[in-house]
A and B are shown apart, each in its own frame.
Chain A
C-alpha cells in the first residue's frame, strides 16, 4: 500500500514536470503574456525609456512575437537578465524566449541545450578606450586592465585574444553593462570590451562620446539572435518564423505604414500573400491563425524599420546596416521562403 502511494506520487510529479517542459505556446496563451528575457539595460537594444516602457531592437522582437501569438504587442512581461542569469532563467522556464544580444555558439546550442531561432544581428567583439590613452590598436593593449561582462562569450574571446598574441592583461569582471560603463568611465579599467554594437550603444550614452575611440580590431564573430529551450520544437518554430516574417517583410516592402492596405486583400506577389495570410494556411501549420505575421509586422514594423528606429544611423546609437543589410544590398540578412 505504501509502495503504491509512493509510485503514484512519482507519476504525478513526473506528469507535472513533463507537462511544464513542453507546450510553451499553451502556457503563454493561458497566461496571456509572453515572458521575454532581455538585458538589464543597453540603449537601443533593450532599456526602459523615461516612462518606464521598454524600448529597443530586442524589445521590438519580443513585442512582434507577443503580437503574433497573443494578438497584443504589449502583452509582454520583460524580464531583465544579466550575462550570468540569462541561461538559467531560460532553462528554468522563468522566460519563454531570450532576446538579449546572445551569441549563437556550438556549446550553447548543444551543451546548454538551447535552440537558436536565427540571427537578427551579425556582430563581432571590439574594444573601446579613452582617447587620451593614445592607443590606436588592440595589439597595443599589453598590460592593460580590461573591463568585461562575466558569463559572456566576450570573456572567452578576450582570454583567447591575449593568449594567442602573447600579451598580458588584467580582467575586471562585471555583472552588467551599466556597471561596466560606470567603472570604465571612472578609470577602474583602461579598456572595455564587448560586442561592437554594445560598444556603440554604450558610447552613445556617454557625456563626451568623442573622448573615446572604438579600436579597429574585431576579434570574434558574434551572431546574435533570440533563443528558446530545447525540447519544444513547435515553440521554436513560432519564434524562428516570426523573425523570418519580419525579415521577409523588409525584403518585400511590407512596412508598418502599408501593411493594413496590403493585408486587406490578396495582391500580385504570392509570397506576400502567403506571409500575410491572404492566401494559403501557413499560420495554422504553426498553431496560430492566418493573421499572425501581419500582427507581428504591424507591432513595430519590419526588420529594417526596427533596425532604423532603434539602432540605425538616424538613432543615437547610429549603427550602419553593414553585414545586417538585406542580402540584396550586400548584407547577410536573407529571409527563408514562405511556402
Chain B
C-alpha cells in the first residue's frame, strides 16, 4: 500500500519518465518537496487535514452559538447570572421531602424538585426491575396462558407512548376513586380501616418516630449485617463441605425477630399516625399523591416491559447445554435457574439494564403531564417562568440530569464489574 502510494506520487511527479523513475523511487526516494495538495491527496496527511478542518468548524460553530446567545441576551437587555437562586421563590410545592415554604429561595425549591425526581426515579427503577424480571421469566413459561399474557403485557406497554400511559393511569385514579369527603360521611369504608384511596391521592398511616427509635434502627442495621455475614458463612461452608445451609429461613428470621423484640423492649418507640377524615380531606397520615402514583406506575410498567425483554433475551442467550448439564447433575429447576442460568444471564442483562434505568430517570420529566413537582416543574418550570432565567435554569436542569445519569451509570457499572465474566 505504502509502496503503491509512493509509486503513484512518483509517477505523477515525473510525468512520462515511466519505468526509470519508478525504479529510482523504489531504490532511493529523492527528498520530496512538500506541496499543499498533499494535504488532501496524500493519505499520510489527509486524516490530519480532516481533523484540523473538523476542529476549526466545531470551534466556529460553538463560538457562533455563544456569541449569538450573548448578542441576543444583550438585545433583550438580559444578563447571565445565577443570583435568582437565592431570591425568595414565592410559590408552594405540594410534595416536599425536605422542609420548604414559599418564603424560601428558588435554590431550595429546585432542591425540593430534584429530590422529587430522584424519589420517583428510584421507586420506578426498583419496581420496573421487579416487574421486568418476573414478566421476562414468565414469558418463557411452559404454561401457554401465562406466556401469552406476558406477551400481551410487553407488547402493549412497549408499543404505546409512555405519555399516554401516564395520562391514562392518572385519569383512572382521578375519576374512578371516591372523593375524600365520602369517607367522612361514612359512605365509603377505608381499606383495613386505615388506608384511604381517593381521587386526590392515597392516605396511609404515617410512622411517628419517638426518642428511642434511633436504637431500633441500629438493631435493624445490625441484623442486616448479620444476614450478610451468615450468607457468606453459608456459602463458604457449602464450598468447603458441600453441605447446604438453610439460607432463606435464617435470613428471614434475622430480618424480623431482633427488630421486633427490640421494638417491644424499647417500649414501642415507633407508632402510627392514622389518617382521619377532616373538613376537606384527611388530617394526619401520609398522603401519596395521585400524580406520584400515576407517574410511578406508568414508568414502572413501561420500563418493566423493556426490562422483561432484556431478561428474556439474557436467559435465552445461555446455551441449552448449561441447563441440561445442571439437570444431569441432579439440580432441581429452581436451583438450575438461580445457580446456573441467572448468574450467567446477568452478564448479558446488566449492560442494557443500565440504559433502561437512565431512560426511566429522564422519562420521569414527563411528570409535567400530571403536575408532579419534579425538578423540571420547579427549577425548569415555575422558577424560569417567574424569573425569566430560561438559559440559566435550563443549563442547571441539563446539568442535574447529566450528573444523575452519570451517577446511576457509575453505580451500575460497579455492579456490572462484579457479575461480569472474570477471566482468570
Residue A283 CB within 8 A of the other chain:
no
Residue A280 CB within 8 A of the other chain:
no
Q: Which residues 85-144 in A have Cβ within 8 Å of B in the complex?
A: 87-88, 91, 107-108, 111-113, 141-144
With a cutoff of 8 Å between Cβ atoms, the chain A residues found around residue B388 in the complex are: 87, 91, 107-108, 111-113
Interface string of B378-419 (1 = CB under 8 A from A): 000110111110100000000000000000000000000000
Query: Judging by beta carbons under 8 Å apart, are A150 and B381 in contact?
Result: yes
Query: Judging by beta carbons under 8 Å apart, are B174 and A183 in contact?
Result: yes
Query: Judging by beta carbons under 8 Å apart, are B68 and A143 in contact?
Result: no
With a cutoff of 8 Å between Cβ atoms, the chain A residues found around residue B75 in the complex are: 17-18, 21-22, 231
Query: Judging by beta carbons under 8 Å apart, are A173 and B371 in contact?
Result: yes
A169 to B281 alpha-carbon distance, docked (Å): 10
Number of residues from A at the complex interface, CB < 8 A: 53
Q: Count A/B pairs, Cβ under 8 Å.
A: 132
Query: Judging by beta carbons under 8 Å apart, are B78 and A113 in contact?
Result: yes
Q: Which residues 189-228 in A have Cβ within 8 Å of B in the complex?
A: 189-190
Query: Judging by beta carbons under 8 Å apart, are A186 and B199 in contact?
Result: yes
Residue B193 CB within 8 A of the other chain:
no
Query: Judging by beta carbons under 8 Å apart, are A107 and B386 in contact?
Result: yes
A17 to B76 alpha-carbon distance, docked (Å): 11
Q: Which residues 130-188 in A have Cβ within 8 Å of B in the complex?
A: 141-145, 150-151, 155-156, 158-160, 162-163, 169-175, 183, 186-188
Interface string of B85-104 (1 = CB under 8 A from A): 00000111110000001110
Q: Which of B25-33, B59-67, B204-212, B224-232 contacts A (4 or more CB under 8 A)?
A: B59-67
Residue A16 CB within 8 A of the other chain:
yes
Residue B38 CB within 8 A of the other chain:
no
Query: Judging by beta carbons under 8 Å apart, are A151 and B385 in contact?
Result: yes
Query: Judging by beta carbons under 8 Å apart, are A155 and B91 in contact?
Result: yes
A136 to chain B, nearest CB (A): 14
Residue A56 CB within 8 A of the other chain:
no
With known contacts A145-B281, A156-B386, A113–B76 Cβ distance under 8 A: yes
Query: Judging by beta carbons under 8 Å apart, are B385 and A14 in contact?
Result: no
B157 to chain A, nearest CB (A): 24
Query: Judging by beta carbons under 8 Å apart, are A14 and B290 in contact?
Result: no
Query: Judging by beta carbons under 8 Å apart, are A143 and B281 in contact?
Result: yes
Beta-carbon nearest neighbor of A2 in chain B: B56
With a cutoff of 8 Å between Cβ atoms, the chain A residues found around residue B72 in the complex are: 17, 20-21
With known contacts A10-B64, A188-B174, A21–B371 Cβ distance under 8 A: no
Chain A residues with a Cβ under 8 A of chain B: 2, 5-6, 9-10, 13-14, 16-18, 20-22, 83-84, 87-88, 91, 107-108, 111-113, 141-145, 150-151, 155-156, 158-160, 162-163, 169-175, 183, 186-190, 229-231
